[in-house]
């Protein structure tokens, strides 16, 4: 198992190299000139040209690409923002806690509310409980996050005055953004749990469990749910990855200085180091989460674990294990 | 039917239907039989004849809906299982009546250790500590020929035959009084079939368990069953002791079943299969369900349902033509 994890970690290097090349190329061909953006509007073409030389933007594509890769992968330096006098890494690390807090709270809400909703719906398939759960889920996937966010602000901040409408601070600042952001996740979690549970409930081994005399509750939680977990974990992992990328809409509605705001404003400003650094950072984070998801798979399903281990060890060992 | 005295389990006029896409599928249409303690009854018939539905009704594990038990009684030592509460029924499942399933590949929970799957039932019914249950589960594994050291293995680490042994160990772990074996060897290859059958037979004898053996394999019937019920389109068309059925088959369907088996003693070029297909259970023919395929069927057969009539001993048959000379001749040839 550890060998598998190490192998996957090593695989991240080529993946990140690929991401770096692609994002660098995209930014290179992007119209717009950071030199002009930095200088005043009244700057002469000659002054802009001088700035370009100073920033190294006049050099050919391949030289700049290799220079960037060298800087990132051999010196672990994501560079410095063109506009703020701050390294990209410290910019990301300053904003990361806000994004991570929202992402983790949303993930917990998604698991703690979405999963039971889905199980309830599956157990009472086509019944009243199922209909109610699925209407909630349908609302969740259809309602746009920004609309829900603004409605929540209107009600709880403006009208009732219970919670702050925007900004960051104590935990009360996170309540509305998290609810607005988690609703869609709860909904997709409920839908995935439902369909996954429905499939498992029809399996032969559930009939076996019932034939043993187990109660419906034991059948559900000891036999059905563990088998339904794989797709559920996938949804959680994907959602977590997406949310760590920063939820631009929620961040802008609530004025939260998160990763999403950081990268999108950098794109508008042609702040190349921030855009590329942000994308690379997210790529690394996403790869790690996917690795974590795959490791959890192995603990949930012994067949997947055997597969991972089979990739490392010779075939002979597995044959022996099979007797 | 059966011998004298109160039977251990008695099924009376059981009727079950499934609802599928608005159609009523009549899976079991008035099945009655009884079984004494320690005896084995074979339920024989084609795929879709309703054999598994009968077994699942006894254990009350039919998926409801779509299945619906319309009428009938299932008496276990006089208690009607169909009238028990869910809680009472749970105490019978696995403890007094256990089932061996047809497909060992899918009957085990793939993410639970096999030992735990066996111990789970033991701990539930015998109210003993987890440790003792584990000990007993290990003993059960050894009884079916699997080393106890494999207690902590997962189903995917076993072959099909070994999985079926685990299923058998699971079914027998609480010494049930009645074992429902639903084609326990169909999914296995021939060499393993014999082994698995031997295991079931020996354990059954050891524990004095009654058994209902569901199969379409007459060889298995000959080997393990005391009595045989031939099921066609959800009805018993012929019932009798093994000798009665094998020596004097009376129903044209039973005769047809024997005719479609290769016989080492007779010198025939081709087997004689039963022509045609089993009837659509959503649209059963009026009259005898076998009449569309029966070479002896006449107007009387198609007019109204045929009742079971006694022949001799326990032997009964659902056919109007059983005295017909042609039928008797066919029976002599194949029987």
Quote the CA–CA distance of B255 and B324 in Å, as a whole number.
13
- Estimate to the nearest angstrom the gap between the alpha carbon of A80 and the chain centroid: 25
Q: What is the rounded average pLDDT for all residues in chain A?
A: 86
Does the pLDDT of residue A120 top 60, yes or no?
yes
- Chain-chain contact of B111 with A301 (C-beta, under 8 angstroms): yes
Instruction: State the pLDDT at residue A322.
Output: 42
Q: What is the pLDDT of residue A108?
A: 93
Question: How far does the CA of residue A292 sit from the closest CA of chain B (Å)?
Answer: 19
Is there a contact between B125 and A306 if contact means CB atoms under 8 Å apart? Answer: no
Sign of the alpha-carbon dihedral angle for A187, A205, B75, B282: positive
A211–chain B Cβ distance below 8 A for any pair: yes
Q: For the segment A267-315, what is each residue's pLDDT rounded down to a tens digit?
A: 888 888 899 998 898 889 889 999 999 899 988 888 888 888 776 554 4
Q: What is the CATH number of domain A97-273?
A: 1.10.3720.10
CB within 8 Å of A126: residues ≥ 6 apart:
none
Alpha-carbon distance of A267 to A256, in angstroms, equals: 18
Q: Which two three-digit tokens encode residue A49?
A: 């040209």
Q: What is the pLDDT of residue A306?
A: 84
pLDDT at position A316: 43
Closest-CA distance of chain A to residue B278, Å: 26
pLDDT tier at A320 (50, 70, 90 boundaries)? very low
Given a cut of 60, is residue A107 above it in pLDDT? yes
Strand B315-317 vs strand B309-312: parallel, antiparallel, or unpaired? antiparallel
SS3 (DSSP) at B1 = coil
- Asked if the Cβ–Cβ distance from A208 to B107 is below 8 Å, we say yes
Tell which of B57, B109, B133 to mutate to test the A interface (max A CBs under 10 Å). Answer: B109
User: Does the pLDDT of residue A226 top 70, yes or no?
Assistant: yes
CB B163 within 8 A of CB B104: yes
Residue B220 and residue B244: Cα distance in Å, rounded?
16
Provide the pLDDT for residue A21: 94
Evaluate if residue A262 carries a pLDDT over 80: yes
Residue B194: CB partners within 8 Å, gap ≥ 6? none
Write the DSSP string, A235-261: HHHHHHHHHHT--HHHHHHTT---HHH
Determine if the peptide bond prior to A165 is cis (ω within 30°): no
pLDDT of residue A225: 92
Residue A302: φ, ψ to 5°: -60, -25
Torsion of CA A135, A141, A145, A148, to 10 degrees: -10
Q: How far apart are CA A42 and CA A53, in angstroms?
A: 19
Residue A195 reports pLDDT greater than 90: yes
Higher local confidence (pLDDT), B296 or A29: A29
CB B29 within 8 A of CB B233: yes
Cis-peptide, bond into residue A260, ω within 30° of zero: no
> Tokens 């008035």 — which residue?
B30
Tokens matching residue A8:
């996957």
Look up the pTM and report it: 0.79
**What's the mean pLDDT in B305-311?**
77
Q: Least CB-CB distance to A211: which of B94, B103, B157?
A: B94
pLDDT of residue B282: 80
For chain B, domains (ranges, CATH) are 1-96+178-335 (3.40.50.300), 104-175 (no CATH)
Q: Mark yes or no for CB contact A214/B159 under 8 Å.
A: no
For the CA atoms of B238, B244, B250, B253, what is the dihedral angle to 10 degrees?
50
The mean per-residue pLDDT over the stretch B184-192 comes to 79
pLDDT in tens, A125-149: 888 999 999 999 999 889 888 889 8
| pLDDT over 80 at B101, yes or no | yes
Query: Residue B262: left if φ>0, alpha if ψ -120 to 50, beta else—which one?
Result: beta
Predicted confidence at residue B331, as pLDDT, reads 66
pLDDT band at B1 (very low <50, low <70, confident <90, very high): very low
Higher pLDDT, B265 or A207: A207
Q: Which residue of A has its CA nearest to B173?
A: A212
The answer to whether residue B3 scores a pLDDT higher than 50 is no
Contact B229, B220 (CB under 8 A): no
Phi/psi at A34 (5° precision): -60, -30
Residues 161-220 of B with CB under 8 A from A: 162, 167, 170
pLDDT at A224: 92
Asked if residue A18 has pLDDT above 90, the reply is yes
Please give the average per-residue pLDDT across B205-209, as a whole number.
Answer: 84
A83 CA to centre of own chain:
27
Three-class SS state of A107 = helix
Q: Which is more confidently placed, A228 or A167?
A: A228
Say whether B111 sits in a helix, a strand or coil.
Answer: coil
> Rounded mean pLDDT of B185-211?
82
* A175 vs A158: CA distance, rounded Å: 15
> CA of B314: how far to CAs of B3, B5, B145, B241, B244, in Å?
8, 14, 37, 7, 8
Mean pLDDT for the stretch of residues B187-206: 82
In angstroms and rounded to an integer, the radius of gyration of the C-alpha atoms of chain A is 25
Asked if pLDDT for residue A168 goes beyond 50, the answer is yes
| Cross-chain Cβ contact B121/A301 below 8 Å | no
Question: What is the model's pLDDT at position A261?
Answer: 87
pLDDT(B190) > 90: no
Q: What pLDDT, on a 0 to 100 scale, did the predictor assign at position A19?
A: 93
pLDDT of residue A198: 92
Mean pLDDT of B203-217: 86
State how far residue A4 is from chain B, nearest Cα, in angstroms.
20
Task: Tell me how far the alpha carbon of residue B147 is from its chain's centroid.
Answer: 29
CB contact under 8 A, A213 and B103: no
DSSP E strands in chain B: the ranges are 9-20, 23-35, 40-44, 67-76, 79-80, 97-100, 178-182, 210-215, 227-232, 235-241, 309-312, 315-317
Ramachandran region of residue B132, left (φ > 0), alpha (ψ -120 to 50) or beta?
alpha
Q: What is the pLDDT of residue A315?
A: 44
The answer for residues whose C-beta is within 8 angstroms of residue A224's C-beta and 6 or more apart is A197, A200, A201, A206
Task: Write down the pLDDT at residue A321.
Answer: 43
Is pLDDT of B183 > 80?
yes
Q: Which residues pair with B36 in a beta bridge?
A: none
B148 near B166, Cβ under 8 Å?
no
pLDDT band at B218 (very low <50, low <70, confident <90, very high): confident
Contact between B112 and A226 using a beta-carbon 8 Å cutoff: yes
Question: Is residue B65 reached through a cis peptide bond, with omega within 30 degrees of 0 on the bond before it?
Answer: yes
- Residues in chain A with CB shorter than 8 Å from the CB of B110 are 205, 227, 301-303
pLDDT tens-digit profile of A209-225? 998 888 888 999 999 99
Contacts of B65 (CB under 8 A, 6+ apart): B19
Listed by start position, the domains of chain A span 97-273
| Closest alpha carbon to A98 in A150, A148, A169 | A169
Model confidence at A318, pLDDT cuts 50, 70, 90, reads: very low
Given a cut of 70, whether residue B327 has pLDDT beyond it is no
Residue A252: other Cβ atoms inside 10 A: 17
A178 has a pLDDT exceeding 80: yes
What pLDDT is recorded for position A16? 92
B302 in contact with chain A, both atoms CB, cutoff 8 A: no
Say which of A204, A213, A303 has its CB closest to residue B121.
A213
User: What number is the average pLDDT over the span A196-213?
Assistant: 90
């Amino acid at each position: 198992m550890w060998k598998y994890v190490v192998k996957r970690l090593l695989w991240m290097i080529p993946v990140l190299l690929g991401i770096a090349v692609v994002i660098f190329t995209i930014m290179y061909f992007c119209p717009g000139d950071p030199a002009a953006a930095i200088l005043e509007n009244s700057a002469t073409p000659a002054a802009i040209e001088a700035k370009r030389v100073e920033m190294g933007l006049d050099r050919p594509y391949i030289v700049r690409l290799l220079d960037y890769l060298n800087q990132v992968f051999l010196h672990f330096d994501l560079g410095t923002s063109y506009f703020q006098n701050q390294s990209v890494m410290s910019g990301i690390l300053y904003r990361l806690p806000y994004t991570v807090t929202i992402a983790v709270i949303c993930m917990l809400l998604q698991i703690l509310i979405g999963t039971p909703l889905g199980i309830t719906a599956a157990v009472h398939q086509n019944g009243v409980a199922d209909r109610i759960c699925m209407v909630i889920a349908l609302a969740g996937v259809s309602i746009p996050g920004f609309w829900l966010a603004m409605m929540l602000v209107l009600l709880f901040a403006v009208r009732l005055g219970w919670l702050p409408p925007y900004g960051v601070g104590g935990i009360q600042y996170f309540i509305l953004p998290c609810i607005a952001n988690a609703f869609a996740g709860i909904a997709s979690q409920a839908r995935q749990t439902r369909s996954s549970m429905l499939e498992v409930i029809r399996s032969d081994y559930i009939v076996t469990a019932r034939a043993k005399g187990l109660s419906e509750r034991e059948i559900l939680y000891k036999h059905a749910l563990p088998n339904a977990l794989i797709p559920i974990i996938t949804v959680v992992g994907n959602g977590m990855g997406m949310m760590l990328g920063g939820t631009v809409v929620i961040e802008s509605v609530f004025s939260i200085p998160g990763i999403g705001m950081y990268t999108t404003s950098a794109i508008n400003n042609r702040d190349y180091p921030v855009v590329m650094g942000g994308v690379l950072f997210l790529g690394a984070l996403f790869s790690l989460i996917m690795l974590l998801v795959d490791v959890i798979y192995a603990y949930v399903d012994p067949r997947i674990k055997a597969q991972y281990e089979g990739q490392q060890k010779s075939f002979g060992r597995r044959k022996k294990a099979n007797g | 039917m059966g011998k004298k005295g109160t039977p251990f389990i008695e099924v009376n006029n059981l009727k079950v239907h499934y609802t599928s896409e608005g159609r009523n599928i009549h899976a079991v249409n008035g099945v009655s039989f009884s079984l004494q303690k320690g005896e084995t009854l074979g339920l024989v018939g084609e795929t879709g004849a309703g054999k598994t539905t009968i077994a699942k009704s006894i254990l009350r594990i039919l998926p409801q809906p779509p299945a619906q038990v319309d009428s009938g009684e299932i008496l276990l030592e006089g208690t009607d299982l169909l009238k028990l509460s869910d809680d009472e029924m749970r105490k019978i499942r696995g403890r007094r009546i256990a089932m061996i399933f047809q497909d060992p590949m899918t009957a085990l929970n793939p993410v639970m250790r096999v030992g735990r799957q066996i111990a789970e039932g033991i701990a539930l019914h015998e109210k003993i500590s987890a440790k003792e249950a584990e000990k007993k589960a290990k003993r059960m594994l050894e009884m079916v020929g699997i080393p106890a050291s494999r207690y902590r293995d997962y189903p995917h680490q076993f072959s099909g035959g070994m999985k079926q042994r685990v299923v058998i160990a699971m079914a027998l772990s609480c010494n049930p009084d009645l074992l429902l074996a639903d084609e326990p060897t169909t999914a296995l290859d021939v060499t393993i079939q014999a082994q698995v059958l031997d295991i079931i037979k020996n354990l059954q004898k050891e524990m004095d368990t009654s058994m209902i053996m569901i199969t379409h394999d007459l060889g298995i019937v000959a080997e393990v069953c005391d009595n045989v019920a031939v099921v066609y389109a959800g009805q018993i068309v012929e019932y009798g002791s093994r000798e009665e059925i094998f020596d004097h088959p009376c129903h044209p369907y039973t005769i047809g079943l024997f005719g479609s088996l290769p016989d080492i003693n007779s010198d025939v070029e081709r087997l004689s299969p039963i022509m045609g297909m089993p009837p659509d259970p959503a649209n059963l023919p009026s009259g005898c369900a076998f009449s569309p395929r029966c070479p002896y069927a006449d107007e009387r057969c198609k007019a109204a349902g045929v009742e079971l009539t006694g022949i001799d001993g326990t032997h009964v048959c659902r056919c109007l033509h059983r005295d017909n000379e042609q039928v008797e001749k066919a029976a002599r040839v194949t029987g």
